[in-house]
């Protein structure tokens, strides 16, 4: 099954006898929008969303409290499961997640559902800007029937700090952040710039076109293949806090390459000053 779905395919699916559950996961990394006010995904959802979608709060339902394990640690499974059931997610129901277009937040929801055992979840390619159908306001929305999904994590898809360090030596560890953060030239969020020794720079932004849609699978395979990431080697991804890296895991999935996610990512790595940091373009 393809991990992404186009807007036209979604429109057809919503008219089918087995329509998907829709998750609206609008979120922004920056703490403030252009207006100077913090971005409010809930308010954006309330003003207009794809009919039938339910808002999911990334910071509260797809992550737990920030701390030594990073800015977006894995969520408490009871909290995550309750959020998914509230949204109408059941084990046998297809799910489509979307966000405001960048794809990171929707990919985080996709990854969590896949990791916890849901067999049929996709991301709307291009997010809400790709949707040209009707929208509904929150006042027009009705709550979906409660779902029955119970998250059951699978092994092998998650890396901790030690696992990420080991993979950088024995396989391929991709750093999904912007190149200047990888090189340590700037670091707007975390206390130290640079990268995990041995990791390769692979900015998430290079996985999509100007419209925010994923590049064709063949192009993605070629891109990752140049970095040594293929189906024949173990691959892992990290970013700042495990959100944009989920988008890179999704891109790898589109390319047919399985990959693990270092959820704690750079925000966890740099919380321990004893962990080594590499700077510059050289992986080491």
Gyration radius from the chain CA atoms: 18
Q: What angle do CA 125, 129, 130 make, to 5 degrees?
A: 45
- Backbone φ and ψ for 222, nearest 5 degrees, come out as -65, -40
Alpha helices in 92-216 (DSSP H): 104-115, 161-170, 179-182
**Other CB atoms within 10 A of residue 284 CB:** 10
Residues with Cβ within 8 Å of 255's Cβ and at least 6 positions away in sequence, in order, are 217, 220, 221, 223, 224
Strand 54-55 and strand 21-24: the pairing is: parallel
Contact 21, 110 (CB under 8 A): no
Largest separation between any pair of C-alpha atoms in the chain:
55
Answer yes or no: 146 catalytic.
Answer: no
Supply the DSSP symbol for 228. T
Q: What angle do CA 268, 203, 104 make, to 5 degrees?
A: 70
**Which of 173, 235, 239, 259 is labelled catalytic?**
239
Q: Beta partners for 5?
A: 124
Q: Active-site residue numbers?
A: 239
């Amino acid at each position: 099954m393809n991990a992404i779905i186009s807007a036209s395919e979604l429109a057809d699916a919503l008219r089918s006898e087995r329509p998907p559950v829709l998750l609206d996961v609008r979120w922004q990394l920056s703490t403030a929008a252009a207006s100077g006010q913090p971005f409010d995904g809930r308010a954006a959802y309330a003003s207009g969303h794809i009919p039938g979608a339910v808002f999911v709060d990334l910071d509260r339902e797809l992550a737990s409290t920030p701390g030594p394990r990073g800015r977006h640690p894995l969520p408490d499974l009871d909290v995550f499961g309750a959020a998914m059931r509230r949204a109408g997610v059941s084990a046998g129901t297809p799910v489509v997640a979307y966000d405001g277009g960048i794809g990171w937040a929707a990919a985080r929801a996709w990854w969590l559902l896949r990791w916890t055992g849901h067999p049929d979840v996709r991301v709307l390619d291009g997010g809400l800007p790709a949707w040209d159908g009707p929208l509904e306001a929150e006042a027009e929305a009705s709550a979906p029937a409660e779902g029955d999904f119970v998250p059951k994590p699978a092994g092998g898809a998650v890396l901790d700090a030690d696992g990420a360090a080991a993979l950088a030596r024995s396989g391929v560890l991709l750093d999904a952040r912007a190149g200047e953060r990888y090189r340590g030239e700037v670091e707007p969020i975390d206390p130290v710039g640079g990268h995990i020794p041995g990791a390769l720079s692979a900015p998430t932004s290079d996985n999509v076109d100007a419209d925010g849609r994923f590049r064709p699978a063949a192009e993605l395979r070629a891109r990752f293949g140049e970095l040594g990431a293929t189906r024949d080697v173990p691959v892992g991804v990290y970013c700042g806090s495990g959100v944009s890296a989920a988008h890179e895991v999704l891109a790898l999935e589109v390319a047919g390459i399985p990959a693990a996610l270092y959820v704690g990512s750079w925000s966890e790595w740099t919380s321990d000053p004893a962990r080594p940091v590499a700077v510059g373009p050289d992986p080491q």
